Amino acid sequence: MRAGSLALRLFISATLVSAAVLIVTGIVLSTVYREAVERAFDRRLDVYLKTIVADVANSGTGAMPEPTTLGDPVFSFPLSGWYWQIARVDGPGRQVKTSRSLPEGTLPSLYERRTEPDLTGLREGYAKGPAGQSLRVIERYIDLGEDGHFVISVAADSGEIEEEVQGFNRALSVTLAVVGVAILLTLIFQVVFGLRPLKRMLAALHQVRAGQAERIEGRYPVELAPLAAEMNALIESNREIVERARMHVGNLAHALKTPISVLQNEAAARGGEDALAVKVREQAEVMKGQVAHHLERARIAARATVTMTTEEVGPIVEKLAGTLAKVYRAKGIAVETEVAPGLRFRGERQDIEEILGNLIDNGCKWARSLVEVTAAPAEEAPGGRAFFTLTIDDDGPGLTAGEQAEALKRGRRLDETQPGSGLGLSIVTELAGLYGGGLTLERSPFGGLRCVVRLPAA
């Protein structure tokens, strides 16, 4: 899952949603459990409260009653955490009776705090008790008419509630953490498994681009099948465009060849003394060269646009080096080669042969004794395309920086004593450019010229 990938985006979004759901679930479950624990605790307190209410109601004396039926010793131990209190709220003064567990002071009154009672008239809440205890308090107001108005309270240390809730929260946290890890593993599997067809499609498309296949093959999910079909249709459409371009190039070549030949023949028939005939022959020859050059360029451009073939570089280099070494044997030129194993050119064989042929031939023309040809992978270009470099060095006189720029101009010859048309380097430049590469001229370590061509690798 690399930065910016679809897999990472899916994983992060699903993880954030899952984390939010787990957090909300944890909060809701903890809140529901706390309320359940409080209700259970309040029911225990309510049992004592109803017993005291019954004792107060049955006293019938109007005096402060003494509960006699609680039967629980926790209300007798000082500061035990369990307390009851009876407060008479009518008449002069405030009469209060408390359990023995509350040796001094009184319980906070929810009635005096104006806490709203529920539908049964019961008030409940938390309050600060003796010795800094946090108490859970339930309270009921009863009206006995002439016998008095009383507020009866029962309270207990809320630590039991907190301990139960905290224990539940710990267990809940561990459970949700395990569930979260399981969800993460499931998400990773889901993302990897779900995006696997895309990786297969990418591999199939790479095979098409590398010339190892003619179309995208294989079965894909219904969401990707239309995309694969459209890509195959595009590949087929490009192939048809290339074929039509080749056909038109051939037709144009044949259409122009005859008129140019007629002009040359008519000019030749006029004889060598006719100035007009000489000029016509000269310009017809230029036209013939120009037409051949531009038709070849159009043919290569159409072919390089959709390249489906690859060629191994090593055998081509060895073959051309051997051939040109024989051609220039009389000059004593040695052509040495060094090619990285497994290097392949993503293009058509005749194009790399033309590039190498021009450059090695040019090196042999100017070399004193040595031409060296090397081929090695280049650094990866932006967009992930692979390239390699062809380097041709000679030990000839070389070129200055200004002469190097002039040499790359089409038809420019720096020395008329050597045979040639002056189109070799410009043809190499245009061919390399059509494949997304280029040609540069430098000073060779042997003292002559170094030509470096960058071409796409398979």
Torsion angle defined by CA atoms of residues 278, 283, 288 and 292, in that order, rounded to the nearest 10 degrees? 150
Residues 256 and 315 in one domain: no
Residues 282 and 330 in one domain: no
Q: Is residue 182 part of a domain?
A: no
Residues 301 and 315 in one domain: no
150, 89 in Cβ contact below 8 A?
yes
How confident is the model over 50-92, as pLDDT tens digits?
888 888 887 765 556 666 656 678 888 888 889 998 888 887 6
How confident is the model over 323-379, as pLDDT tens digits?
999 988 888 999 999 999 989 998 888 889 889 998 999 899 989 999 999 999 987
Q: Which tokens in the block code for residue 96?
A: 């209060």
The reported pLDDT for the residue numbered 338 is 93
Distances from the Cα of 97 to the Cαs of 63, 71, 106, 110, 409, in angstroms?
11, 17, 9, 16, 115
CATH number at residue 363: 3.30.565.10
User: Per residue in 88-123, is it b (16+ CB within 10 Å) or e — as a string?
Assistant: bbeeeeeebbbbebbeeeebbbbbeeeeeeeeeebb
CA 164 to chain centre: 46
Residues 321 and 296 in one domain: no
Residues 353 and 404 in one domain: yes
The reported pLDDT for the residue numbered 411 is 45
For the chain, report the end-to-end CA distance as a whole number of angstroms: 26
Residues 152 and 26 in one domain: yes
The reported pLDDT for the residue numbered 418 is 46
Residue pLDDT tens, the chain, 458 long: 667 677 788 888 888 999 999 999 999 999 999 999 999 999 989 988 888 888 888 776 555 666 665 667 888 888 888 999 888 888 766 788 888 888 888 888 888 888 888 888 899 999 888 878 899 999 999 888 777 888 999 999 998 899 999 999 999 999 999 999 999 998 888 888 888 888 888 888 877 776 677 788 888 888 888 888 888 888 888 877 777 776 777 677 667 777 887 787 877 777 666 777 778 878 887 777 777 766 666 666 555 555 557 889 999 999 999 999 998 888 899 999 999 998 999 888 888 988 999 899 989 998 999 999 999 998 766 556 789 999 999 998 888 888 887 777 644 444 444 444 445 677 788 888 888 888 999 999 998 999 999 998 87
The reported pLDDT for the residue numbered 414 is 43
Q: Are strands 344-345 and 134-143 parallel, antiparallel or unpaired?
A: unpaired
Q: Is residue 205 part of a domain?
A: no
Within 8 A by CB and 6+ apart from 301, the residues are 245, 434
Residues 123 and 12 in one domain: yes
Q: Is residue 239 part of a domain?
A: yes
Torsion angle defined by CA atoms of residues 396, 400, 402 and 405, in that order, rounded to the nearest 10 degrees? 40
| Closest to 452 measured CA to CA, from 333, 345, 372 | 372
Residues 318 and 259 in one domain: no
The reported pLDDT for the residue numbered 375 is 94
CATH number at residue 86: 3.30.450
Q: With 0-12 CB in 10 A as exposed, 13-18 as middle and 19+ as buried, what is 427?
A: buried
Residues 362 and 277 in one domain: no
Q: Which tokens in the block code for residue 346?
A: 């993503």
Q: Is residue 170 part of a domain?
A: no
Residues 319 and 293 in one domain: no
Q: Is residue 275 part of a domain?
A: yes
Q: With 0-12 CB in 10 A as exposed, 13-18 as middle and 19+ as buried, what is 167?
A: exposed
The reported pLDDT for the residue numbered 274 is 74
Q: Which tokens in the block code for residue 285?
A: 């020859």
The reported pLDDT for the residue numbered 247 is 72
Q: Is residue 118 part of a domain?
A: yes
Q: Which of 164, 184, 205 is the last residue of a domain?
A: 164
Encode the chain in three state secondary structure. CCCCCHHHHHHHHHHHHHHHHHHHHHHHHHHHHHHHHHHHHHHHHHHHHHHHHHHHHHHCCCCCCCCCCCCCHHHCCCCCCEEEEEEECCCCCCEEEECCCCCCCCCCCCCCCCCCCCCCCEEEEEEECHHHCEEEEEEEEEECHHHCEEEEEEEEECHHHHHHHHHHHHHHHHHHHHHHHHHHHHHHHHHHHHHHHHHHHHHHHHHHHCCCCCCCCCCCCCCCHHHHHHHHHHHHHHHHHHHHHHHHHHHHHHHHHHHHHHHHHHHHHCCCCCHHHHHHHHHHHHHHHHHHHHHHHHHHHHHHHCCCCCEEHHHHHHHHHHHHHHHCHHHCCEEEEEECCCCEECCCHHHHHHHHHHHHHHHHHHCCCEEEEEEEECCCCCCCCCEEEEEEEECCCCCCHHHHHHHCCCCCCCCCCCCCCCCHHHHHHHHHHHCCCEEEEEECCCCCEEEEEEEEEC
Residue 55 lies in domain:
7-164
246, 299 in Cβ contact below 8 A?
yes
Q: Is residue 220 part of a domain?
A: no
427, 300 in Cβ contact below 8 A?
no
Residues 138 and 58 in one domain: yes
Q: Is residue 203 part of a domain?
A: no
Q: Which of 305, 338, 370 is the last residue of a domain?
A: 305
Q: How many domains does the chain have?
A: 3
Q: Which of 149, 164, 179 is the last residue of a domain?
A: 164
Residues 299 and 323 in one domain: no
